[in-house]
Amino acid sequence: MSESSNYIGGVFGTGQGPEQTVINPATGETVRTYRADDESSVAAALAAARDAFPQWSGATPADRSAALYALFTELEKVAEELAQAETSQTGKPIRLSREFDVPGSIDNVAFFAGAARHLTGHASAEYSGDHTSTIRRQAIGVVGSISPWNYPLQMAVWKILPAIAAGNTIVLKPAETTPLTTLMLAEACGRADIPAGVVNIVNGPGPTTGEAIVRSPLISMTSFTGSTAVGRHIAALAAGNGTRLHLELGGKAPFVVFDDADLDAAIQGAVAASLINTGQDCTAATRAYVHRSRFDDFVSGVAELMGKVRLGDPLDEDTDQGPLASFRQRDKVAGMVERAVQAGARAVAGGKAPGGDLAAGAYYEPTLIIEAEQKSEIVQQEVFGPVLAALPFDSDEEAITLANDTAFGLAASAWTTNVFRAQEAARRIDAGTVWINDHIPIISEMPHGGMKSSGYGKDMSTYSFEEYTQIKHVMADLTGAVAKDWHRTIFRQR
């Protein structure tokens, strides 16, 4: 697999497109090069998926489940190698890879191995009196999927597992900068004897390799995780193709601290939730709205704690925060902070790339911004870096209004010791997930997905089967009569 770019029909191969480079963002060094997959590889992958569909979708749920449990076992054997590879291509701290990305991904595989045997639907019954109505929940066909670079393994698992557990086959393209762990996942699929063609991987740039998947008439569904801008472009392509769509797009999660909150918990929670994965998390806390009576204490507490976060070599167990996943992303973050400061905001922690030994990597200091306008870019747009903006509010009503005042709706949290406030915030904040007195945890049994410009459809949990299956109603006559009762509407009553 070492030189391969693709996994098609159960075989590793090499693309014929331009050379791509995987860079370690902690050092700027090349981890690996590969040739991108062009349209011919994509066509071969789609054909392999199409050919594998009849047998895989016709397998018993128990057989599909057994194959996915075998995948779970194979992944557990290479957990440490996966963690090392994930860190080398993204720069995320090894602790995060070992304790979050890899075990979370493997748990998701285990979950879908079980869930494959438990598709749900309405009870069959004689709803009309003259027929038995039955629901069939069937696979859709070939899923074309595109995943991002922030959690490469986890996002590939979130896309592949519900799709194949439900009996679909898939062609997935990871981000061109982070192909390694997705190819290792494919390798584990091979060792687990998941039939050839059920899971296919191609690699290369979005506008070429990615679009070749989305435009193909062979796919029945597109599932995408990434930026809102690219998501909308893909939605337009999918509309042209008439294919079903599932979009998990950007976020701009509010973090609302009411006046009765446990401030120590809120401070620690805000630092952890804004800096996880160097802030490159679509659910990361990005906008802290804090009651004016607690605002100054919150700001000084967060700034002090951010100052203690250790930046360094991602392979060092003691490192808290690694570099951004690419120099391009680091420069984007730096540009947004610079523009915020020019517009009148202040960075009371961080606000720059560190010097010294870390200057060779794509590092950026944990950053707390205050005095930004609600309408400003830093409050409204996704930064996708270790940057939290804090703004004060005066009433519960204002807090909820500000929390809802962006285009996004992926995640949010409310910090309060008052159960009524907590329930009101959970009900009124427009987000696919609302945490109470925490921010970030996810769990395989529960859905993840957005509202508003954060997309639609769910990853994880049995709710994801709503995306990856289609419902068929089978209505069987029970009367055996030539003249059915409803024929009165066509023929005169005899």
Contact window for ligand NDP (CB under 6 A) among 44-52, 64-72, 220-228, 339-347: 220-228
Indicate which single residue of 233, 265, 268, 327 sits in contact with ligand NDP (rule: CB under 6 A). 233
Count CA atoms closer than 13 A to 125's CA, side-chain side: 5
Assess 150 for contact with ligand NDP (CB under 6 A). yes
282 is catalytic: yes
Instruction: Supply the DSSP string of 114-170, one letter for each residue.
Output: HHTT----PPPB-SSSSEEEEEEEEE-SEEEEE--SSSHHHHHHHHHHHHHHTT-EE
Give the nearer residue to ligand NDP in terms of CB position, either 141 or 206. Answer: 206
The nearest distance, CB 147 to ligand NDP, in angstroms, is 6
Instruction: Return the SS3 of 231.
Output: helix
Active-site residue among 74, 86, 211, 282? 282
189 is catalytic: no
How far is the C-alpha of 29 from the C-alpha of 162, rounded, in Å?
A: 35
Contact window for ligand NDP (CB under 6 A) among 186-194, 228-236, 393-401, 486-494: 228-236
Indicate which single residue of 6, 87, 90, 225 sits in contact with ligand NDP (rule: CB under 6 A). 225
E strands, 258-373, in order: 285-291, 346-349, 367-370
Number of residue whose CB is nearest ligand NDP: 206
The nearest distance, CB 332 to ligand NDP, in angstroms, is 6
Give the nearer residue to ligand NDP in terms of CB position, either 151 or 415. Answer: 151
* Contact assessment for residue 31 and residue 22, using Cβ atoms and an 8 Å cutoff: yes
Count CA atoms closer than 13 A to 229's CA, side-chain side: 4
Instruction: Return the SS3 of 186.
Output: helix
Assess 152 for contact with ligand NDP (CB under 6 A). no
Hey, which residues between 293 and 332 contact ligand NDP (CB under 6 A)?
none
Indicate which single residue of 140, 170, 186, 249 sits in contact with ligand NDP (rule: CB under 6 A). 249
Indicate which single residue of 234, 349, 440, 442 sits in contact with ligand NDP (rule: CB under 6 A). 234
Burial of 148 (0-12, 13-18, 19+ CB in 10 A): buried
Active-site residue among 248, 365, 382, 467? 248
How far is the C-alpha of 276 from the C-alpha of 151, rounded, in Å?
A: 11
Assess 15 for contact with ligand NDP (CB under 6 A). no
- Helix 152-165 × helix 61-77 angle, to 10°: 160
Indicate which single residue of 103, 205, 354, 447 sits in contact with ligand NDP (rule: CB under 6 A). 205
Annotate each residue in 410-429 with x if it binds ligand NDP (CB under 6 A) or - if it does not, as one string.
--------------------
Q: 79: how many CB neighbours lie within 10 A of its CB?
A: 15
Assess 250 for contact with ligand NDP (CB under 6 A). yes
What does each C-alpha distance from 458 to 88, 112, 165, 390, 447 come to in angstroms? 29, 14, 15, 29, 6
Assess 175 for contact with ligand NDP (CB under 6 A). yes
The nearest distance, CB 339 to ligand NDP, in angstroms, is 15
What stretches of 308-448 show up as alpha helix (H) in DSSP? Answer: 327-342, 377-380, 396-403, 419-428
Assess 146 for contact with ligand NDP (CB under 6 A). yes
**Footprint of ligand NDP on this chain (CB under 6 A)?**
146-150, 173, 175-176, 205-207, 210-211, 214, 225-227, 230, 233-234, 248-250, 282, 382, 384
- The residues assigned a catalytic role are 248, 282
